[in-house]
Amino acid sequence: MFAAAEHRQNWRETPLPGALLLRGFALQAEAELLAAVEAITAAAPLRHMQTPGGQRMSVALSNCGALGWVSDRAGYRYSALDPDSGRPWPALPAVLAELAGQAAAAAGFADFCPDACLVNRYVPGARMGLHQDRDERDLRQPIVSISLGLPALFLFGGLQRSERALRVPLGHGDVLVWGGPARLRYHGVLALKEGEHPRLGAQRINLTLRRAG
């Protein structure tokens, strides 16, 4: 197990019912996480997938775990195989599963065991439109999102796309967990601003862990 995160005043935030933001929680495993991302993307390179409507996604992505999230003209879905290579996705590193389990437990979701991790790479200008995560079988399971690199503005909307979204700043090492009443809220990321992170350069890496199967 990781050592407990260093205590800091107000390091836990509750932006919405069912959501918990743990500021700097992933910094305890920074080196292991960066090594894991490097290994994952070496085995399953980042790529820009297409939406069902034929649009190229501005965010480059890959996956690890038993299931990987994919998008193309046929729609959004999970697949056990990387469509680019025809091989299984890289295994989910223990550091990711353990960190996600700890964060989920802190948010009140005990025994969270992810089987899918989406690796998103944002460069300046890249964004993620408002959407719901509803391709998973058990919607009682939470979502755990780990931020590395440049800061971003996360959008937390409502249960309807038209509802006004709350803006939540996310920085390097922050972990956001949402489930329960927040599980099906629309969410997204505003266009990444120009910048240079001392460890990752001009990019943001987001690791989103789910129980998909």
- Residue 96: give its domain's CATH number: 2.60.120.590
Residues 64-81, mean pLDDT to the nearest whole number: 96
**Does 30 reside within a domain?**
yes
**Do the Cβ atoms of 148 and 26 come closer than 8 Å?**
yes
**Does 1 reside within a domain?**
no
Split at pLDDT 50, 70, 90, the class of 7 is: very low
Q: What is the mean pLDDT of the chain?
A: 95
**Do the Cβ atoms of 211 and 113 come closer than 8 Å?**
yes
Name the domain count of the chain: 1
The parent domain of residue 100 ranges over: 12-210
Rounded Cα distance between 85 and 45, Å, is: 10
Whether the per-residue pLDDT at 14 is higher than 80: the answer is yes
Contact residues for 134 (Cβ-Cβ < 8 A; gap 6+): 184
The pLDDT assigned to 4 comes to 43
Residues 165-186, mean pLDDT to the nearest whole number: 98
The pLDDT assigned to 10 comes to 60
Whether the per-residue pLDDT at 1 is higher than 50: the answer is no
Contact residues for 104 (Cβ-Cβ < 8 A; gap 6+): 110, 112, 142, 144, 177, 179
**Does 3 reside within a domain?**
no
**Does 6 reside within a domain?**
no
Residues 167-183, mean pLDDT to the nearest whole number: 98
Q: Which helix (H) or strand (E) holds 39?
A: helix 30-43
Residues 55-67, mean pLDDT to the nearest whole number: 97
**Does 129 reside within a domain?**
yes
What pTM was estimated for this model as a whole? 0.94
Whether the per-residue pLDDT at 125 is higher than 70: the answer is yes
* Amino acid letter, 149: G
